[in-house]
Amino acid sequence: MTDVSNHLFETIDRQHRGESAATRRQLIKGTSAALAGAGILGLATGVSPASAAVKTDPDNSVETILAVAATAEVLATIVNTLGPEKLGNRLDKTTLRNIRAAAQQEKNHYEVLTSAGVGGKPVTTSIHVPDEVFSSPEALLKTLVVGDQVFVNAYLLGLTVFARQGTLSGSRFARYAGEIMAVESVHRALALQSLGQLGNDRVYAKFAQREAVAGLPTTGAPGFYKIMDAVTVLESAGFGFGKAGSKPGQMYTYADVSARTPSDPDVNTLMPS
As a whole number of angstroms, the distance between CA 72 and CA 109 comes to: 10
Whether 13 has a pLDDT exceeding 90, the answer reads no
Instruction: Kindly give the interhelix angle for 3-15 and 21-38, rounded to the nearest 10 degrees.
Output: 140
Q: Is the pTM of this model over 0.85?
A: no
Q: Give the tens place of pLDDT for each residue, 189-220.
A: 999 999 999 999 999 999 999 999 999 999 99
> In this structure, which amino acid lies at residue 87?
L
Helices (H) and strands (E) in the chain, counts: 10, 3
Does 3.30.43.10 match the CATH number of domain 53-258?
Answer: no
Which residues is 224 bridged to in the sheet?
Answer: none
Q: Give the tens place of pLDDT for each residue, 215-260.
A: 999 999 999 999 999 999 999 999 999 999 999 999 999 999 999 9
As a whole number of angstroms, the distance between CA 269 and CA 37 comes to: 39
Least confident window among 40-44, 69-73, 190-194: 40-44
